[in-house]
């Protein structure tokens, strides 16, 4: 696998936004929906930014994922060129349609509905109150939920995964949340059969409207230990920080852009997201790699002859110090007004450059069409031939000639008539005189 080179990306809010930049291994377009359970704490927003980290694959294909019957993508990855996460550029990358799933719905958020449709199904249980709720959820944060698909985790890795079974950070500590991606997979609690040998710390910290609430720090066991951090200027929840344990059922594939362990970060103008997974269980890493999603465009067709044995995958075990190393990376510096103006000017230049490239492409296509049209055989259907029409100059000469002849004939007749008249008069005069 080749190492991904740094790419420059738009770093802003909105599908058509431009003006700020960041650098990462991949450019992204994603969604952010500030939520606490089933309650909306702000409007969903399209966020553009950079993704990087050891948990990201090194050869992620450039593509966009679309929900059923949607004209706008909910997730895009690209690194083919700088600023590839502009609206015009993402139209050119590979499109992948993602089917929504039908789920069992049970709880106050369902009202009278027994089923719901969404990107993921949920099964949530509060082990302290024994309250259980089932339903649907859509990815609310870049990257974090993608790694958690097919797992049961305690506490929930985002604030959008508990429906109405928790009210604050302390009560959320007792909640286990399972998410899965197949029809009615939440009709009962997903079964975890893998060994859970990792001892992890569990903790939740939430900041809303300037007020921070924290839970106690307890321990839990699972297949993996995870951490997640969300810092946002969108909505009323300015931060959500948690760590805990997660175990996977094996029913859902590992997303193609992620590796089983390591850290991944997403940075945007008003949003910073980071998540890490670690385990000392080599078998857990092997199971995840074996289930990794392979897109149809990369699936190799079976070749004739002897089947080749697959090469064993290298298993990398992440250790405790990896998260500390990730945290030691430099934090992005704040953008001053001068830098923002400069970034806006550069963005406009890049946009103009893109438009010029598109115009050149359109001109080339038009030229190709003209060449194709000129090379096509054309058939001319001729009508029966007719006698040639006399030239106008010949017609005029003939007409003049005929008129001259008529004049001569007319003058001759008149002259003859006058002569006859004179002879007759002279005869009359001679008779009268005699």
DSSP string for residues in 4-54: PPPEEEE-EESTT--S-EEEESEEEEEEE--EETTEESS--EEEEEEEEST
Q: What pLDDT score was predicted for residue 316?
A: 39
Degrees (nearest 5) of the Cα angle 289, 322, 8? Answer: 80
Give residues with Cβ within 8 angstroms of 244, minimum separation 6: 153, 154, 155, 157, 200, 201, 202, 203, 220, 222, 225, 226
Q: What pLDDT score was predicted for residue 376?
A: 45
Q: What pLDDT score was predicted for residue 321?
A: 47
* Segments of the chain scoring below 50 in pLDDT: 1-2, 301-334, 371, 373, 375-391, 428, 431-434
Residues 58, 328 contacting (CB under 8 angstroms):
no
Residues 96 and 81: their CA atoms lie apart, in Å, by 20
Give residues with Cβ within 8 angstroms of 282, minimum separation 6: 315, 317
Write down how long the chain is.
434
Q: What pLDDT score was predicted for residue 353?
A: 65
Q: Which helix (H) or strand (E) holds 123?
A: strand 120-126
Q: What pLDDT score was predicted for residue 412?
A: 77
Residues 237 and 230: their CA atoms lie apart, in Å, by 9
CA 297 to chain centre: 17
Read off the pLDDT of residues 202-236 as tens digits, 9 standing for 90 and up. Answer: 999 999 988 999 999 999 999 999 999 999 999 88
Q: What pLDDT score was predicted for residue 298?
A: 62
Query: Per-domain residue ranges for the chain?
Result: 7-292+318-326
Question: How, if at all, do strands 7-10 and 35-36 pair?
Answer: unpaired
Alpha helices in 60-157 (DSSP H): 87-90, 144-148
Residues 290 and 275: their CA atoms lie apart, in Å, by 22
**Of 13, 8, 157, 138, nearest in space to 74 by CA:** 138
């Amino acid at each position: 696998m080749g190492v991904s080179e740094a790419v420059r990306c738009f770093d802003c809010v909105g599908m058509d936004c431009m003006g700020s930049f960041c650098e990462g291994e991949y450019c992204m377009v994603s969604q952010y929906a500030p939520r606490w359970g089933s309650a909306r704490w702000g409007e969903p927003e399209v966020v553009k930014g950079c993704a990087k980290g050891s948990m990201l694959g090194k050869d992620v294909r450039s593509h966009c994922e679309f929900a059923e019957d949607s004209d706008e993508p909910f997730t895009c990855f690209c690194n083919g060129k700088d600023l590839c996460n502009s609206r015009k550029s993402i139209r050119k990358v590979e499109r992948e349609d993602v089917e929504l799933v039908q789920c069992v719905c049970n709880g106050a958020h369902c009202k009278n509905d027994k089923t719901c449709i969404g990107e993921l199904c949920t099964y949530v249980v509060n082990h302290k109150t024994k309250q259980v709720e089932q339903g649907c959820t859509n990815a609310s944060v870049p990257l974090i939920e993608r790694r958690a698909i097919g797992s049961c985790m305690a506490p929930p890795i985002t604030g959008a995964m508990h429906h109405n079974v928790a009210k604050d950070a302390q009560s959320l500590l007792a909640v286990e949340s399972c998410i899965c991606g197949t029809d009615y997979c939440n009709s009962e609690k997903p079964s975890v059969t893998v060994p859970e040998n990792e001892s992890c710390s569990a903790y939740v910290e939430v900041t809303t409207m300037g007020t921070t609430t924290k839970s106690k720090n307890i321990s839990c066991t699972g297949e993996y230990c995870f951490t997640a951090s969300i810092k946002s200027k969108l909505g009323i929840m300015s931060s959500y920080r948690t760590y805990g344990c997660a175990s996977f059922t094996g029913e859902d594939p590992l997303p193609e852009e992620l590796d089983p362990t390591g850290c991944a970060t997403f940075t945007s103008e008003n949003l910073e997201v980071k998540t890490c997974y670690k385990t000392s269980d080599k078998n857990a890493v092997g199971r995840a790699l074996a289930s990794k999603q392979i897109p149809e465009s990369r699936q190799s067709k079976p070749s004739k002859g002897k089947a080749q044995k697959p090469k064993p995958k290298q298993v990398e075990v992440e250790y405790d110090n990896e998260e500390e190393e990730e945290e030691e990376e430099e934090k992005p510096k704040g953008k001053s007004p001068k830098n923002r103006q400069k970034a806006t000017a550069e963005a406009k230049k890049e946009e103009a450059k893109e438009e010029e490239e598109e115009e050149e492409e359109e001109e080339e296509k038009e030229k190709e069409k003209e060449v194709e049209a000129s090379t096509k055989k054309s058939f001319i259907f001729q009508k029966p031939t007719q006698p040639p029409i006399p030239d106008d100059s010949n017609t005029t000469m003939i007409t003049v000639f005929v008129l001259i002849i008529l004049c001569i004939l007319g003058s001759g007749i008149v002259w003859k008539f006058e002569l006859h008249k004179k002879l007759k008069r002279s005869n009359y005069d001679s008779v009268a005189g005699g």
